[in-house]
Structures are given as structure tokens and as C-alpha cells.
């Protein structure tokens, strides 16, 4: 199959979160003989620098660009995947976060930037490259690629479009005037189009016009069809639920492998688990925690936003530290959470370590050195850290939602007995429920070493590498292409009979 995978971030070229991990590892997993997978993203300066050798393979005149937009071609690092970078200096030649300015606010022209990106993708999909290559399927991801489906829709023949929701809460909403300024076809301004409560919604473009929708776990696929998780779009999603799939993300098992991970103090496998303790000691030393193997060391890694429920962790600290816990937090995000965390770290020296910022190496060392990973997220479309922690023998403590519910099996008498338990799961998103789960973990850690190691080993034996999820994507691609071909034939046959 010929697939064009469209994304606004892909590790190691540019990363703000899990979308970058998935955009790197899914195309790599799909790029097997018989599949031609090509990845397209904006030509941010860091991406251009990290991409290696690039050549210009198209020069396009696109609406919304003052000059010529060049499509640069290279190879995505460590893969057979062809890389395209959309080079429009006015839109993308800026350093730092791809969506935010240095002060944390959105770039004021994000609508123009990602409308231009969509127009470039549509041009590529319609054969504008010098080589004339055209995909059979365009796989769009999140709101930044939301305009691709509506802009491609009016062309026949056209490739099929799959739109994947990684996080419904980020919708790409802009004032109505932006719609006019972008020069989008007037017919798209309606409740059944891009309008969302009198605003322009990029996300709705994908949700309404893509041939098929998917999201990153089966549970989240069900959750987003309900008012509690639907962000106002549950009605539309329910309406489209016959074309909505939930496929659990896989993980990059080369990048995240405790037996080869170059960031670790000491590598280990399920057979040399005793070496995990060296990583715990090193992490305690690195982050200024008391050197104490007997304390249960919790790790938290993530964006400091409401979704990740860091506020529940902050609320629970006093009660938590009445027990032999330690906690290391790595994250960045909203200032209010960063400030509260810094203050908390001063109150609990040796027990709480806070690292504000983005640090790939430390993320790996926490996954290896902690005893448990804490993920109390209010909602979590998939979540990758709990997959990494399972592989690293670090027991996840998670809220039962989205991909967390789909990847962690709660420790109960039965699941412990039949060797299926992999972590501790709590039902309510309250700090009391989270604390209770932490205490269950502590009790297991302290009182029943056999049960504890069973949990660790069962977790490490889970297989969340991409193979099976990538196979599901491929089946879905084939299904959607067939569907679109059939739909086009349904239009074309009567037309032919009419001789028009
Ligand atoms: P989300 O995409 O919602 O942020 P995921 O769990 O899917 O959540 O993915 C988050 C990814 O970003 C993981 O690879 C995680 O290790 C990484 N990450 C998040 N915050 C940081 C940080 N401060 N430093 C290093 N890596 C981080
Ligand atoms: C989003 C979600 C996260 C998911 C990631 C990759 O950022 O918040 O749960 O793992 O996308 O799909």
C-alpha cells in the first residue's frame, strides 16, 4: 500500500508529547515490504537540522503562502520511511515549541500555519511531487491536519482519508473571521461542516469529512461518544460511531528497552532484575532523594496540565509522605502547577524531587529506577508512559480510563493468583482513590515480595510493541480504501450511464 502519514510532530525531529512517539514508531512498523509509507511534517528548523540530507522535490504555489513552498525529501531517521518536510519559511521557520511562543501562548497565526500544511498535504496527495507519487490512503493525526479531509473531499478520484484522534480536547478553535481569512470554501461553514458554536474548528474537519475515524484505545473510542469525555463533540462521534475504531498504540521497543537503554545506570532484563535496584539507587542520588531501598519510589512523568491530574498528586502529598514513599516528578506545563510543585519540593526534602523541564534521559531513568509509575490522568486517550513502565518492570498505578484501562490489569486476589495482575487501578479521579491505590501498592511491596515480583515480571512479559497494532492499522487502511473505491464507483457508474 502507498500511505502518506501526516503529523505535526515526530520524534526525534520534533516532540511535545506522545503524538511524536507514535508518529515515529507506527510508520516504521508499517514500512515492511509491500508498503510504501511516507511521512510528512512541517519544516521546523530543528526538524531540518536533524533530518540529514534533503533535496527539493516540488515547488508549489499554495493559497496562504507569500512565496513558493518547497517540499523537501529525505529519509526518516533509522527507517525505510520517506520523509517530506513542508518548507514555508513564513509559517514554520521558528525555533522552539511547534505550537507555542516562548511565553507559553499559541503562535498567533497557528490557523494560517496548519491550513497551509493541509494545503501542501492535499497537493502531495493529488500528485504534485516531481515524481508524481500519489498515496492510496492519507492518514491524518489530530487537529493540525484537520483541514486535509474537507479540502480533499471535492476531488475525484482521491485517496481515502483516515483521521486519528490522539486527544479530543485539543480542537484547533479559531474565531469566525479566521475562516474567511483562510479563504476556505464557503460551503464548509455550517453545523455539518467546520463550524463549532460559531467558531472555526479544525478538528471537526477531520471528524466530519474523513472516510474513517480512529482513536488510540478501544476504551477512549467508547468514552468520546459520551458527554463526559466528548468535549461537545460526542453527538457527532456517536453519529459516526459505525466508522470509528479504537486501536491501542504500540510502543517503540528499540527506543524503550531496559536491556540496551543507553540512558540507564545499569541495563537489565527479566532475568537480571536484581540490577534494577542499581537504577533506583542512581535515581535517588541524581534527584537528591534519601538513599533508601526500602521506600517505595513513585515516578510521575508528563505534561503538567489538568488532563494528567497532577493536582490530585499535589493534594495527596501530606498523606502520602506519612508513609514510606518517595516521589520524583518530571514535567513541564502550566505555571500554577510548576510553582506548586517547586514549593512542595521544599517542604519534603529527600522525599519529593521535582524536575521542571523536558529531559528525555531522566524520563528513561525514572522508568527504570522507580518502583511504581503514577498516572492518575482524568482522561488518557492511550498513554505511553504506562507501557514503558510495564516493560521496565516499574509497576503502574493508574486511573481506570482510556488506554490506561486497556493496558493495566488491577492487582486483586484473583488476578494475583492467575498471574494476570500488572498494576494498581483506581476507579474515581480523586486524590483519596489514588492514595488508596498507592497504599495497596505499598502493602504489596512491603509484605509480599513474591506477589510483588510476580507483578513486575508479568508486566515485563506483556507485549505492547507495535506489531499487532500496526497490523490492525493495515487491515483498517485496506478496508477504508475498498470502501472509498466502492463509494466512488457508486457515483461514477450512474454518471457513465448518463453519458456525462
Ligand atoms: P501525552 O501525549 O498526552 O503527553 P503520552 O503518555 O502519550 O502523553 O506521551 C508522553 C511522552 O512524552 C512520553 O514519551 C513521555 O516520556 C514524554 N514526556 C512527557 N513529559 C516529559 C518530560 N518532561 N521530559 C521528558 N519526556 C517527557
Ligand atoms: C495524546 C494523548 C495520549 C496518547 C498520545 C499518542 O497526546 O494525550 O494519551 O498516548 O496522544 O497517541
pLDDT tens track for 73-85: 999 999 999 999 9
User: How far is ligand 2, taken at its centre, from the CA of residue 155, in Å?
Assistant: 31
Note the pTM of the prediction, 2 decimals. 0.96
pLDDT of 284 above 70: yes
Residue nearest to atom 26 of ligand 1 (CA): 360
User: How far is ligand 1, taken at its centre, from the CA of residue 459, in Å?
Assistant: 20
**What is the model's pLDDT at position 449?**
83
Pick the closest to residue 92 from 144, 150, 162 (CA basis): 144
* C-alpha span between 372 and 360 (Å, rounded): 19
Average pLDDT (98-113) is: 94
The one-character DSSP state at 145 is G
Radius of gyration of the chain (CA): 24
CA distances to 48, 251, 387 from 18, rounded to whole Å, are 21, 10, 12
Q: Is 378 in the pocket of ligand 1 (CB under 6 A)?
A: no
**What is the model's pLDDT at position 402?**
98
**What is the model's pLDDT at position 398?**
98
Average pLDDT (93-107) is: 92
Pick the closest to residue 297 from 373, 359, 360 (CA basis): 373
What is the pLDDT confidence band of residue 496, given thresholds at 50, 70 and 90?
A: confident
Average pLDDT (49-59) is: 97
* Residue from 10, 11, 12, 17 to probe ligand 1 pocket by mutation (most atoms less than 8 Å from CB): 17
**What is the model's pLDDT at position 223?**
98
User: How far is ligand 2, taken at its centre, from the CA of residue 245, in Å?
Assistant: 15
Alpha-carbon torsion (451, 452, 454, 459), positive or negative: positive
Domain ranges in the chain are 2-250+468-499, 273-460
What is the pLDDT confidence band of residue 143, given thresholds at 50, 70 and 90?
A: very high
pLDDT of 187 above 70: yes
**What is the model's pLDDT at position 329?**
98
What is the pLDDT confidence band of residue 10, given thresholds at 50, 70 and 90?
A: very high
Least confident interval from 7-11, 247-251, 318-322, 488-492:
488-492
36-42 and 82-87 beta bridge pairing: parallel
pLDDT of 499 above 90: no
Average pLDDT (119-127) is: 98
**What is the model's pLDDT at position 96?**
85
Average pLDDT (227-232) is: 98
CATH fold of 273-460 reads Rossmann fold (3.40.50)
As given in the structure block, the three cell numbers for residue 397 are 498505578
* C-alpha span between 312 and 335 (Å, rounded): 16
Better-scored residue on pLDDT, 155 or 491:
155
C-beta of residue 26 within 8 angstroms of C-beta of residue 7: no
Among left, alpha and beta (phi > 0; psi -120 to 50; other), residue 195 is beta
**What is the model's pLDDT at position 493?**
74
What is the pLDDT confidence band of residue 500, given thresholds at 50, 70 and 90?
A: low
* Residue from 171, 382, 383 to probe ligand 2 pocket by mutation (most atoms less than 8 Å from CB): 382
The reply to whether 273-460 shares the fold of 2-250+468-499 is yes
User: How far is ligand 1, taken at its centre, from the CA of residue 363, in Å?
Assistant: 8
As given in the structure block, the three cell numbers for residue 228 are 463526559
**What is the model's pLDDT at position 438?**
98
pLDDT of 494 above 80: no
pLDDT digits (tens, 9 = 90+) for 336-391: 999 999 999 999 999 999 999 999 999 999 999 999 999 999 999 999 999 999 99
The one-character DSSP state at 42 is E
Q: Is 381 in the pocket of ligand 2 (CB under 6 A)?
A: yes
Q: What order of strands is seen across the sheet that includes strand 372-375? A: 352-356, 325-333, 296-304, 372-375, 395-399, 424-426
C-beta of residue 159 within 8 angstroms of C-beta of residue 135: yes
Pick the closest to residue 345 from 282, 284, 279, 289 (CA basis): 289
Pick the closest to residue 118 from 142, 144, 93 (CA basis): 144
Q: Is 358 in the pocket of ligand 1 (CB under 6 A)?
A: yes
Superfamily for the 2-250+468-499 domain: Glycogen Phosphorylase B; (3.40.50.2000)
Closest ligand 2 atom to residue 402 Cα is: 9
**What is the model's pLDDT at position 487?**
87
Amino acid at each position: 500500500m502507498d500511505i502518506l502519514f501526516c503529523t505535526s510532530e515526530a520524534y526525534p525531529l520534533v516532540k511535545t508529547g506522545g503524538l511524536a512517539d507514535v508518529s515515529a514508531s507506527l510508520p516504521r512498523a508499517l514500512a515492511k515490504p509491500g508498503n510504501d509509507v511516507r511521512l510528512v511534517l512541517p519544516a521546523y528548523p530543528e526538524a531540518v537540522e536533524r533530518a540529514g540530507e534533503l533535496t527539493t522535490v516540488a515547488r508549489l504555489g499554495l493559497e496562504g503562502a507569500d512565496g513558493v513552498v518547497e517540499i523537501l525529501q529525505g529519509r526518516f531517521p533509522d527507517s525505510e520511511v520517506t520523509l517530506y518536510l513542508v518548507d514555508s519559511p513564513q509559517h514554520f521557520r521558528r525555533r522552539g515549541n511547534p505550537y507555542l511562543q516562548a511565553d507559553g501562548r499559541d503562535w498567533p497565526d497557528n490557523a494560517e500555519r496548519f491550513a497551509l500544511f493541509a494545503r501542501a498535504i492535499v497537493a502531495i496527495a493529488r500528485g504534485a511531487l516531481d515524481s508524481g507519487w500519489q498515496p492510496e490512503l492519507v492518514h491524518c493525526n489530530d487537529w493540525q491536519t484537520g483541514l486535509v479531509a474537507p479540502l480533499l473531499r471535492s476531488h475525484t478520484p482521491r485517496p481515502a482519508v483516515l483521521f486519528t484522534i490522539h486527544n479530543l480536547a485539543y480542537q484547533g478553535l479559531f474565531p469566525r473571521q479566521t475562516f474567511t481569512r483562510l479563504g476556505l470554501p464557503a460551503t464548509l461553514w455550517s453545523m455539518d461542516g467546520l463550524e463549532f458554536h460559531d467558531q472555526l474548528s479544525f478538528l471537526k474537519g477531520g471528524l466530519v469529512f474523513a472516510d474513517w475515524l480512529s482513536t488510540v484505545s478501544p476504551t477512549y473510542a467508547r468514552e468520546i461518544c459520551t458527554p463526559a469525555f466528548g468535549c461537545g463533540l460526542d453527538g457527532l462521534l456517536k453519529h459516526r460511531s459505525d466508522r470509528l475504531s479504537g486501536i491501542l498504540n504500540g510502543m517503540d521497543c528499540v527506543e524503550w528497552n531496559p536491556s540496551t537503554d543507553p540512558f540507564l545506570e545499569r541495563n537489565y532484563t527479566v532475568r537480571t532484575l536484581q540490577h534494577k535496584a542499581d537504577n533506583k539507587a542512581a535515581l535517588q542520588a541524581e534527584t537528591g532523594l534519601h538513599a533508601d531501598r526500602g521506600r517505595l519510589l513513585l515516578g510521575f512523568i508528563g505534561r503538567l496540565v489538568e488532563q494528567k491530574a497532577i493536582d490530585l498528586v499535589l493534594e495527596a502529598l501530606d498523606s502520602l509522605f506519612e508513609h514510606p514513599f518517595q516521589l520524583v516528578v518530571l514535567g513541564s506545563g502550566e505555571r500554577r502547577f510548576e510553582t506548586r510543585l517547586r514549593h512542595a519540593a521544599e517542604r519534603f526534602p529527600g522525599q519529593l524531587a521535582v524536575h521542571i523541564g523536558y529531559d528525555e534521559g531522566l524520563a528513561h531513568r525514572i522508568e527504570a529506577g522507580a518502583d511504581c509509575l503514577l498516572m492518575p490522568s482524568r482522561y488518557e486517550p492511550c498513554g505511553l508512559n504506562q507501557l514503558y513502565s510495564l516493560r521496565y518492570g516499574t509497576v503502574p498505578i493508574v486511573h481506570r480510563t482510556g488506554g490506561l484501562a486497556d493496558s493495566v490489569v488491577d492487582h486483586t486476589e484473583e488476578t494475583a493468583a492467575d498471574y494476570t495482575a500488572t498494576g494498581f487501578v483506581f476507579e474515581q479521579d480523586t486524590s483519596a482513590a489514588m492514595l488508596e491505590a498507592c497504599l495497596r501498592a505499598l502493602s504489596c511491596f512491603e509484605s509480599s515480595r513474591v506477589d510483588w515480583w510476580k507483578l513486575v515480571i508479568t508486566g515485563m512479559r506483556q507485549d505492547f510493541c507495535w506489531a499487532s497494532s500496526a497490523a490492525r492499522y493495515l487491515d483498517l487502511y485496506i478496508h477504508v480504501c475498498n470502501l472509498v473505491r466502492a463509494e466512488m464507483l457508486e457515483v461514477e457508474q450512474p454518471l457513465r450511464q448518463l453519458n456525462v
